[in-house]
Amino acid sequence: MKARDVMSPIEDYLAPDMPICEAVIRMRNIKRHHGLPIKGMPVKNEKGKVVGILSIKDIMRAVIPSYLSPDLSMFSWEHMLEQMTDRAKDKVVGDIMVQDVITIDGDAPLMVCADLMIKKGLQRLPVTDENGTIIGMVYMRDIYNFIADILTKGEKANGTC
């Protein structure tokens, strides 16, 4: 099994100058085969070159800085999330995206994909063709589903293996 066998085709991209509000709307409106919205998208510049990936984790980091701690009793946390979200609205995709895009060739074995995703802590891995163009995305969930199907192949009616 190869990366291209389990990848989902990429049909839409974000732009670095796109407001994060617009990126959120686009990500919410694109559904995967299971009906849920995607959690990350590649970012292309005006020349069509992939320059980053934006994920829901990046959006969360833009709103909630890592230096905040709920242990700071001197602050009132009420309405703070709304205020921080309002401040983040002025940011664009290029401000918060991950720029170091890790990709894998479409002919790479699925084991290599899984190993890379585990080692790098990735939830999605862009798949490239022979020209280095992103043609799809392998998701951790899809690899897990493949493994789960193998593990439960001999499953009995009572739910035991």
**Distance between CA atoms of 143 and 4, rounded to whole angstroms?**
12
Q: Which of 83, 99, 115 lies closest to 45, judged by CA?
A: 99
Residue 125: pLDDT over 60:
yes
Name the burial class of residue 53, with classes exposed (0-12), middle (13-18) and buried (19+) by CB atoms within 10 angstroms of its CB: buried
**Distance between CA atoms of 150 and 144, rounded to whole angstroms?**
10
pLDDT digits (tens, 9 = 90+) for 106-121: 999 999 999 999 999 9
User: Per mean pLDDT, which range of 26-30, 89-93, 138-142, 153-157 is the poorest?
Assistant: 153-157
Assess contact for 16 and 94: CB atoms under 8 A.
yes
Residue 62: pLDDT over 60:
yes
Residue range 3-151 forms a domain whose CATH class is alpha beta
For residue 104, what is the DSSP state?
Answer: E
